[in-house]
Every structure is written in C-alpha cells, then in structure tokens.
A and B are shown apart, each in its own frame.
Chain A
C-alpha cells in the first residue's frame, strides 16, 4: 500500500549547518506530499507541501522538491537555527478505496536537535 519512509534519526547539527532529511514514498499515481513539524509537547503543524511532480514547497527557509523519478521529497534547509529543533514528519494522502476515507499516512518522524 501507499507509504512513506523517512531517514532514521536522531539528527544533531550545529547552528548554521545544512540540513537534509530524506523521505521516499510508495504510491499509486502522484499524490501530494507534505512535511509536518512537531515542536516539543505540541501537535503537528504543516510546514510545506507540493501537489505535483517537480513542484517545490517552501516555508521558513525549508524546501522540498517533489521528484517522481526518484519517488522522493527530501527536506532541506541551508542554515538551521536552535529554534528548528523539533520532529519532522513526511506524509502523503491515502486515496480511499471503496468505503474508505481520505486520510494522511505519516512516516515515523526524524528528530532534529540543533546546538548553539
């Protein structure tokens, strides 16, 4: 079935370092792809999205490009800050089969810690 696979964490970086968090997906067709962020003790917030192949989503200095050739949606940031410390989740929507509902399926998450 449709799914996403994220790189295992945790990831620890120094401030101003370059960040890449890998996400690959398995899906029938070309679904939208999402990155969510979860700060400590909080729920998930939508960080960015891309709705079709070759689209680039961006927000708060983060970027991800939807690449259908490699079925990937890797998250990148050129210079991380301490405030970026959080857990990052890749997600895609499951298109319902008969009787099902349209819903998001999430990767396991990658914990990022940025040290000053």
Chain B
C-alpha cells in the first residue's frame, strides 16, 4: 500500500489548453474525492465517487471540468479550455467506507496547476 498517488505533481499550461490529472487511491478504498485548494485557503470539495459512480458534484465544478473513475479504481480530472482562475492545487483523497465521520480521508500529495 503506497497511499494515494497523484500525477503529475506540477503542471504548467497555457490558457485555453486542456489538462488531465490522475489519482490512484488506496486499493481497498471505494470512496474517492477531488478537492481544490487555492493559495491561502482550505480545500474545497469538487466531486465524489463511490466505486465508479460519480454521486455528487459541487457547483464549483463548471462545465469545463469533468471527472471519471472507470472500473472504480483510478480517477481522472480533466479541465478543458483552462483559465488563469483554474490555477490551484488539486487534491485527491480516498476513504474506505461511510466512516469519513470517524476516520477522515487519506490525501494524495496533490497536483499544482499553473495556468499562464
């Protein structure tokens, strides 16, 4: 068990380009979360998967954002037509059951996106 892995760690892209991030959760965790963290702020919820089903999306997730979790394993987060306001740290977290209330999450190291 190597924890939650995110790739890439850093991404610099030009405005208008598409980017895709990957998250590999802890293998036995069936719950996967994406958060966004901007400078000086706490993480903000983006979306949640239980197995392969995307069960909730935040209003922060505009139409340019899409997330998938095929086969209930790894997940990808794609941002189309990036804007400078998308610059942030994108965090992935996983959990094993409805025990978020008692055990919290395990986070990955994040992908830092810079849009220039």
Does A34 interact with chain B (Cβ within 8 Å)? yes
- Cβ of B110 and Cβ of A104 under 8 Å apart? no
In this complex, the member of A44, A46, A95 whose beta carbon has the largest number of chain B beta carbons within 10 angstroms is A44
B15-49, CB < 8 A from A: 33, 40-45, 48
A interface size (C-beta, 8 A) = 27
Q: Known interface pairs A42-B110, A43-B107, A43-B110. Does A107 touch B101 (Cβ–Cβ under 8 Å)?
A: no
Partner of B91, one of A44, A51, A99, A108: A44
Which residues from chain A contact B107 at a C-beta distance below 8 Å? 36, 43-45
Most chain-B CB neighbours within 10 Å: which of A45, A93, A99? A93
Encode contact with B along A11-27: 1 for CB under 8 Å, 0 otherwise: 00000000000000000
CB within 8 Å of B: which A25-64 residues: 31-32, 34, 36, 41-46, 49, 51
The distance from the CB of A42 to the nearest CB of chain B, in whole angstroms, is: 5
Given A43-B91, A101-B55, A101-B56 in contact, is the A34-B104 Cβ separation under 8 Å? yes
Asked whether A102 lies within 8 Å of B41 as measured between CB atoms, the reply is: no
| With A44-B107, A45-B107 as contacts: A93 and B91 at CB distance below 8 Å | no
Chain B residues in 8 Å Cβ range of A32 = 101-102, 104
Residues of B near A41 (CB, < 8 A) are: 109, 112
Q: Is the CB of B40 within 8 A of A102?
A: no
| Selected contact of A108 from candidates B40, B102, B110, CB within 8 Å | B40
Contact check, A31 vs B101: say whether CB atoms are below 8 A apart.
Answer: yes
What are 7 A-B residue pairs whose CB atoms fall within 8 Å in the complex? Answer: A36-B104, A43-B4, A43-B91, A91-B42, A107-B42, A108-B41, A109-B41
The 3 A-B pairs with the shortest beta carbon distances in the complex, nearest first, are: A106-B42, A43-B107, A93-B101
Chain B residues with a Cβ under 8 A of chain A? 4, 6, 33, 40-45, 48, 50, 55-56, 91, 93, 98, 100-110, 112
